[in-house]
Amino acid sequence: MTNDELKAYLLDKFPSAEITLGTQYVQMIVASADLHQTATLLKDAKETSFDYLICLSGVDYPEYMEVVYHLESVSLRHVMVLKVRTSDRANPAIDTVSDIWITAKYHEREVYDLLGVHFNNHTDLRRLFLEDGWGFPLRKDYVDEIRIVER
């Protein structure tokens, strides 16, 4: 599907989501309660069949934390961006998608490690790079005590 067709399709299927056409890809923001169901549908529906999770990133914005999923369909070759937001900075929690795309299991561990986003129902949510008790360095309020980044 081209970006426009994909956007029209998604608007039809997910009326409650916020769907826009970015500079490169169609972007869809879903409520965190709908994430798991939406992701399952995106993967299983024949028209979309997003079976390849390219990249899973976390971003810390001033008002909310966001997790971004770049998805591609191997057979249909279209790409989209799925986003989910949570405004709870103290205990951000989002459902895991590691049962849908296995690779998410490790990408989610990375996001948990660096941004402190908790993933519900994740089978093995441990820190990946850093020691236990370390802060969450990619958060904007992280204090860089050893001044490794800002000199």
Bridge partners of residue 30, in order along the sequence: 84
Per rule CB under 8 A, is residue 44 in the interface with other proteins?
A: no
Residue from 60, 69, 92, 108 that binds other proteins (CB under 8 A)? 60
Instruction: Name the residue among 73, 75, 127 with its Cα closest to residue 101.
Output: 73
- Strand pairing category for 52-60 and 26-30: unpaired
CA distance 8 to 4: 6
Amino acid at 125: L
Nearest to 1 by CA among 31, 45, 37: 45
Shortest separation between residue 125's beta carbon and other proteins, angstroms: 14
* Cα 93 versus chain centre, distance: 12
Q: Which is nearer to other proteins, 2 or 12 (CB)?
A: 2
* Interaction mask 71-100, other proteins, x per CB under 8 A: ---x--x---x-------------------
**Range in contact with other proteins (rule: CB under 8 A) among 8-16, 19-27, 29-37, 85-93:** 19-27
Distance CA 88, CA 19 (A): 23
Of 86, 103, 118, 135, the one binding other proteins (CB under 8 A) is 103
**CB of 50 closer than 8 Å to CB of 76:** no
Interacting positions 115-134 with other proteins (CB under 8 A): 127-131
Q: How many CB atoms lie within 10 A of CB 87?
A: 10
Question: Segment near other proteins (CB under 8 A), from 4-12, 13-21, 31-39, 46-54?
Answer: 46-54
Q: Of 55, 87, 93, 120, which one interacts with other proteins (CB under 8 A)?
A: 55
Which residues in this chain contact other proteins in the complex, by CB under 8 A?
A: 22-25, 51-55, 57, 59-60, 68, 70, 74, 77, 81, 101-103, 105-107, 110, 114, 127-131, 137-138, 148-150
